[in-house]
Amino acid sequence: MTAPISAVILTYNEENNIKDCIDSVYGFAEEIFVVDSGSKDQTLAILSGYENIQVINHPFENYSQQRNWAINNLPFSTEWILNMDADHRLTPEFKQDVTQRFQTGISSNTNGFLASRKTIFMGKWIKYGGHYPTYHAVLFRKGFGLCEDKLYDQHFKVEGEILKLKGDIIDLITESLSTFTLRHDKWSNLEASEQFSNTDYNEKVIKGSLSANNPIAQRRMLKNIYQKFPLFVRPFIYFFIRYFLRLGFLDGTRGLIFHFLQCFWFRFLIDAKIYELKQKQREQGAD
């Protein structure tokens, strides 16, 4: 059964991902929009094989601006917007839960839904280390949700009540270790820049709170606490908590690779780049 939602998918050179992504949402969402930022591979050719998919080209500045441009400018005919990336796959349980909620009726007070991502790394589900469930606001009413104006680690902020969905969204976070490390090297530049500049975010950013009935706000608060620890010390603490205390070692060899790279290497790289920025600032000050 088709749900009265509009799916928005961002793409750039996603020929290896886009077909499976589209297939998981095709026939479920009432309409599908693909916002492409100049793909040079076969992404657009693959999309041309589908009927009733609207492909719009829009230059990419950053993830937040691309998301918010789509939310504010696409000609949606439905009240609900589903946000996806090309490496996401909707599970049958997700689609069944959403369909049932629309059939039974959604309260006017409810403006959004959270779904957990099921991370697949090197073909394995990363189940432990505090990595599952990890909830994200993926579905919300038009006019009640926007992407945070941040360079990295952006979430959708929804005004009003948000509820958890039962089904997951599969997140294939890497095609290869080379792709994984290259992406995280790029993201470490963004995160280091934000932490170094100590950006003062506006009201459109989710505030951290352990007491809030919102897992995104709770994770943001834990991240705020993490950032108060000294550089180069905090990656060791974080890895120890995730891998040992939160049982990341139960994910096996591929889990070891993932947790080490994501929980330690990536965080250590961010700290090293913050240190580099501070060194440059000192050198400029000395001049």
Q: C-alpha angle 57/58/60, rounded to 5°?
A: 130
**Helix ranges restricted to H, 129-242:** 177-197, 215-226, 234-240
Contacts of 94 (CB under 8 A, 6+ apart): 115, 165, 166, 167, 168, 169
- Beta strands 80-85; 135-141: pairing state: antiparallel
User: How does pLDDT run across 51-102, given as a tens digit for each residue?
Assistant: 999 999 999 999 999 999 999 999 999 999 999 999 999 999 999 999 999 9
Residue 55, phi then psi, degrees to nearest 5: -105, 125
State whether 144 and 225 are in the same domain. Answer: no
pLDDT reported for residue 87: 96
Q: Which domain holds residue 274?
A: 177-286
Question: From CA 186, how far away is CA 149, in angstroms rounded?
Answer: 18
State whether 43 and 108 are in the same domain. Answer: yes
Predicted confidence (pLDDT) at residue 286 exceeds the cutoff of 80: no
What tokens appear for 48 in the block? 């041309």
Of 111, 142, 172, which residue is a domain's last?
172
* Mean of pLDDT values over 231-256: 98
Question: From CA 83, how far away is CA 18, in angstroms rounded?
Answer: 14
User: How does pLDDT run across 135-170, given as a tens digit for each residue?
Assistant: 999 999 999 999 999 989 999 999 999 999 999 999
Burial 217-248 (b: 16+ CB within 10 A, else e): bbbbbeeeeeeeeebeebbeebbeebbeebeb
State whether 116 and 234 are in the same domain. Answer: no
State whether 127 and 14 are in the same domain. Answer: yes
State whether 49 and 162 are in the same domain. Answer: yes
pTM greater than the 0.85 cutoff: yes
pLDDT reported for residue 1: 73
% of residues, the chain, pLDDT over 70: 98
Could you tell me the CATH number of the domain that includes residue 23?
Answer: 3.90.550.10
State whether 166 and 181 are in the same domain. Answer: no
* CB 7 within 8 Å of CB 32: yes
State whether 210 and 160 are in the same domain. Answer: no
